[in-house]
Every structure is written in structure tokens, then in C-alpha cells.
Structure 1
Amino acid sequence: MAPLPTLFVSHGSPMLALQDSPARRFLQELGRSLPRPQAIVVVSAHWESANGPAVSLAPQPETIHDFGGFPRALFEMRYPAPGAPEAAERAAALLEAAQIPVGRSPQRGLDHGAWVPLRLMYPDADIPVAQLSVVRGAGPAAHERIGRALAALREEGVLVLASGSLTHNLYEFRGQHIDAPVPHWVGEFEAWMKARLESRDHDALLDYRRAAPFAVENHPTDEHLLPLFVALGAAGPGAQARQLHSSFEHGVLAMDAYAFQ
């Protein structure tokens, strides 16, 4: 089996699970375009842990509705995929071998950063899934190191799926329509990220908060971009980034997706 790519997807608003958009249609096609993984490890921006990453060992993860103010239909959705405790323990062992401390959660379910894109990519919910957290207060370099430790998973049929958002400033969201105009500060940041990823400008990417235009405006806090660095690291040294999708929702949410291989 050829090594799987690692993926970064932007999960946007929870309404992605219900509302038609180019990003939703892209994710519905994405699963069919990939080799079928034996298991999936999802790195979600919506699970933060302290002092190091954590893995979920839940044998049957619950669907977590970690949001409010949305239609009832969204709260009724479930993603009943089996857990992947063996893949989670393998990830933990790889991290510990790299001297990265790991927490273990016996019952952590799938938050919407995980189940919303998975429900679109793999609607049959028949591939085992485990979650991996991002680390509160740790930056891009630390998350790339986490990814590098996980690189062997690609050779073992495990898909590393990083779920965040290329831009994520909810202070500017303001209930805008899904087709609202894209402010220049969002478009310029998105274009900068694409150029640096495709040119493998590693140093600039790790220093994006100082180097990128309008970085802090697009990420007042950076937990939604950190999964990208895990995917980048897990693809291995010299990996090439390939943009799979680009669109915008509600003006301020860039819905970019990348494969690294």
C-alpha cells in the first residue's frame, strides 16, 4: 500500500453539516477520491489539552454537539463510527518515542471539528476514528513536531486528518450571509498561506504570526490553524503541499483544504 497523504480541511461553521456550499460539496467528494484508510486519526481544533497532546481511546465515541444557537436538526445529527483505540495507542506510542508526553482520554467523543467533515467525507461511518488534541499555548513548531512523530501512521493505513480553519475570526463573523464579500485582509492572508505552502517556505510558515499579512486579524488565537502544522509534519520532510479546495463562507471563513505528500 502506498503511503496515504495527510490532510488539512477547514470545517467552518457547524452549519456545513446542513447548508449547501462549495466546501460542503468538496468534502462530499473528497472521501471517494482517496484510498480507503484502515483507521482515521483526527486532529481537531476543538479539543485542546495542556502540557502535551492527548488521544481518545473511546471504543464507541459519542457525537459531541459543542455549539449553541443552531437549528434542532444539527443537534439531532449523529456520527456513529466505531472508535480506533488501537490507532490511538499507536499514535501515543510514536509520540512518546519522540519524547512528547501524551495524555489518554478513555471516553472523549467526536467534537464537531471531527464529525462534521467526517460525516460528509465518509457518510457510512464505517471507518474507525480516534481524536488527537492540539496543545494549548504551543505554537506551529511544536505542532509540526507532533506531526513528524506521527509520520509512520501514513505507512500503516491510518489517515491523519487535520481539521481547523484557514481563517477563523468569529469576532468579525457578525451573522453575515454565507456569500458575503471577502474582506481584503482575509483574501491576502489566504493567498499568502497558499504561496508559502506550495513553495515550501518552512521558516515563514512557522513564523506566520509575524510574517503573514493580517495574521492576528485572521487568527486572534491560533488553535484553528495549528492542525495544519500537524498535517504538514506528519507528511514527512520534503512533502509537497497541494491545494485541494479554496472557497470562502460568511466573508471571513476561508475554507481551504490541502493534501501533503
Structure 2
Amino acid sequence: MDTPAPALPPLFVSHGSPMIALEPGDAGRFLQRLGQLWRRRYGPPAAILAVSAHTAARVPVLLAAPRHAAVYDFGDFDPALFRLRYDAPGAPALARALEARLRDAGQPVQRVDDGGLDHGSWTVLRYLFPDADVPVLPLAYVPDAPPAAQFALGAALAPLAREGVLVLGSGSITHNLRRVFAQGLHAPAAGRPEVPESAAFRAWMQARSSARDWEALFDYRRRAPHALDMHPSDEHLLPWYVAAGAGGRDAAPQRLHASVTHGCLGMDAYAFGPEAAALRAAVDAVDAEADAAARPAASAAQGAPAAGA
């Protein structure tokens, strides 16, 4: 008898700023490895349900266009960003079916025929699925709703995991742009030590996730250290709760990746649901192989004679 395929683990990934599309850094390189691992482990998703910090509405809205293009929803960044493309098929049939399912679950969802992928979606999808061959269904979320309500929206999406649909939240695990802009908009992303406030918040999120302390996580703005500093507004963290809700309460969220840019933009990634621990083990194995392969190359480079010697 055939063994049923595992339910796809919902994901939350941090995009930080639009510059991740040009400067992948540790997080972009992780997303590339994750996308390759995902195809080997699960095959391509039937579709991606994308919840990004930058697509919001007064009620949940499904963007049911038959095709999507990259939306350049940012200002004074490198002009090369505006030349990048990510044209992906849409999922109008899934949108119609999901609209009915969400309404049955008490979610006041709407469906429109509009399309487009904001930078929170297309910048990470370019690394995860670079061929743009997987249908994408953006879901605009309600940024004024608290974490528990975001989790409930995600819970209504949970059946998608058994249907081969990847629920993908995109935001940032810490996101204080005032700190970033104080460095200068075009300051290098790498090389700055992490500020203590960011490190404390990220550690708290991982610890409370490992403990499945949902009540603390829902109340993070009061309980987490430096919460209001790391998230002056919380739209970049709320997609974490949608993805978590799609994974359910029973399995502990698993941190798949941890890094920081600009010293204060946390780029952590998480997986949720019963398959999350197995995916984390697979990611750890891939990362260990990459580290082992890099060590001999680094040693050889250090031992090479200087040019002109």
C-alpha cells in the first residue's frame, strides 16, 4: 500500500528589505538551499498561498488573477531592483474553492480578480522557486487584527497542507526600519554586530516556540523583551502567526535559519506543523554538508601564496 505523502509544512521566511533580491546574504543563500531541498523532498507544490507583510486589506482578500507579476512597492533603492522580474501563474480555481472554505470557517474573505506579487513575496520566491513555475495565490491579511486572530485565519488554511499547497508567510522576525535608516539607506547590510535588543527578541521567539507557549506568543507585545523596539508596528511579524496557525498548536514551530542584516533586521525562518521537525533535520543536514565542503576550500585559500610572491 502506498504511503501517503506528508502534509507540507507551512513556512515563515524573513525578507528584511527589497535588497535581498540583489544581495542575498545568509538568508538568501539559505532560501536557495531550502528551495532545492524542498523539491527533492516534496516535489514542487501544487500552489503557494502567499501571505506577505506588504499586502493588507480591511478583510482577508484572495487575489485570484490568472497571472502575477512583480510589484515594485518601494522607493529609493538600487535601480537594478526595478529590472528584476518574477512572473508566476495565478491560482483562480484554488481561490474560488478557498473562498468558500474560509467563509465556512467564519472568515469574512473576499475574492478579486486582481494580481501582483509585492516585494515580500517575489523577492523570496525568486530564491525558493526561481523558475516561477508554481502557481501563487496571494492572500491579503488584516494588519489590525491581533496575533490570535491571525492564527485563527491560518487554522482555516490548514487543510491546504494535505492538498500539496504551501502556506508561505513573509515578513521579518525583527523589523525596526528607523534603526536601519539611521545607518543610511544604502549602508552595507552585512558586517554590523547584532544589537542586543534584536538578539533578545529572537531568542525569546525561539524559546517560546520550542515550548509551544502560544499564549505568550499571542501576547508578545507585552511579554517579549524589546517587542515595541523590534516591531514598532507589527505587520512584519503577523504573517508568522498565519503560517503558525496553518501548522496547528500540537507541533512546536521549528527555526530553520537564523541570521541578521544591518545589525537589527532579523532574517529567521520557521516551519510549522507535524512535518516541521523532519524538515529542520533535513535542513541541518544540508547545512552541515555545505559547511564541511566549505572548510577545505577556505583552508586552501588561506594557504595559497600571495599574488606576486
TM-score range, shorter chain: over 0.9
Structure with a larger share of its residues in strand? 1
Aligned ranges 1:248-259 → 2 under 5 Å = 248-259=260-271
State percent identity of aligned pairs: 52
- Tell me the equivalent position of 2:176: 169
In the alignment, is the contact (CA less than 8 A) between 1:79 and 1:115 conserved in 2?
yes
Displacement of 1:71 in angstroms is: 1.6
When structure 1 is superposed on structure 2, of 224-233 and 90-99 the one drifting more is 90-99
Displacement of 1:88 in angstroms is: 2.2
The amino acid across from 2:144 in the alignment is G
- Tell me the equivalent position of 1:235: 247
Displacement of 1:63 in angstroms is: 1.2
Q: Any idea what SS the aligned residue of 1:49 has?
A: coil
The amino acid across from 1:184 in the alignment is P
Q: Any idea what SS the aligned residue of 1:9 has?
A: strand
- Give 5+ residue unaligned stretches, structure 1: none
- Tell me the equivalent position of 2:156: 149
Displacement of 1:240 in angstroms is: 2.2
Q: Supply the distance in 1 between the matched residues of 2:100 and 2:262 (Cα, whole angstroms).
A: 40
Displacement of 1:69 in angstroms is: 1.1
Query: Does residue 101 of structure 2 align to residue 101 of structure 1?
Result: no
The amino acid across from 1:218 in the alignment is M
- Give 5+ residue unaligned stretches, structure 2: 274-309
2:7 to 3, 8, 17: 3
When structure 1 is superposed on structure 2, of 37-46 and 71-80 the one drifting more is 71-80
In the alignment, is the contact (CA less than 8 A) between 1:53 and 1:102 conserved in 2?
yes
- Tell me the equivalent position of 1:73: 80
Displacement of 1:38 in angstroms is: 0.7
Aligned ranges 1:104-253 → 2 under 5 Å = 104-174=111-181, 175=184, 176-178=187-189, 179-253=191-265
Q: Deviations over 1:30-70 (max 9, x none)?
A: 111121211001000001100x2111001011210000111
The amino acid across from 2:245 in the alignment is G
Displacement of 1:177 in angstroms is: 2.7
Q: Any idea what SS the aligned residue of 2:89 has?
A: coil
In the alignment, is the contact (CA less than 8 A) between 2:47 and 2:91 conserved in 1?
yes
Q: Any idea what SS the aligned residue of 2:206 has?
A: helix
In the alignment, is the contact (CA less than 8 A) between 1:88 and 1:131 conserved in 2?
no
Structure with a larger share of its residues in helix? 2
Displacement of 1:230 in angstroms is: 0.5
In the alignment, is the contact (CA less than 8 A) between 2:143 and 2:238 conserved in 1?
no
The amino acid across from 2:270 in the alignment is Y
Larger Rg: 2
Q: Supply the distance in 1 between the matched residues of 2:77 and 2:262 (Cα, whole angstroms).
A: 15
- Tell me the equivalent position of 2:23: 19
In the alignment, is the contact (CA less than 8 A) between 1:5 and 1:259 conserved in 2?
yes
Q: Any idea what SS the aligned residue of 1:143 has?
A: helix
The amino acid across from 1:188 in the alignment is A
Q: Any idea what SS the aligned residue of 2:235 has?
A: coil
Q: Supply the distance in 1 between the matched residues of 2:139 and 2:69 (Cα, whole angstroms).
A: 15
Q: Supply the distance in 2 between the matched residues of 1:24 and 1:78 (Cα, whole angstroms).
A: 17
Larger RCO (CA under 8 A, 6+ residues apart): 1
Q: Deviations over 1:6-41 (max 9, x none)?
A: 000001111101114111100111111121211001
- Tell me the equivalent position of 1:47: 55
Displacement of 1:94 in angstroms is: 2.0
In the alignment, is the contact (CA less than 8 A) between 1:232 and 1:239 conserved in 2?
no
When structure 1 is superposed on structure 2, of 81-90 and 67-76 the one drifting more is 81-90
Displacement of 1:214 in angstroms is: 0.5
Q: Any idea what SS the aligned residue of 2:249 has?
A: coil
Q: Supply the distance in 1 between the matched residues of 2:96 and 2:169 (Cα, whole angstroms).
A: 18
Displacement of 1:223 in angstroms is: 0.7
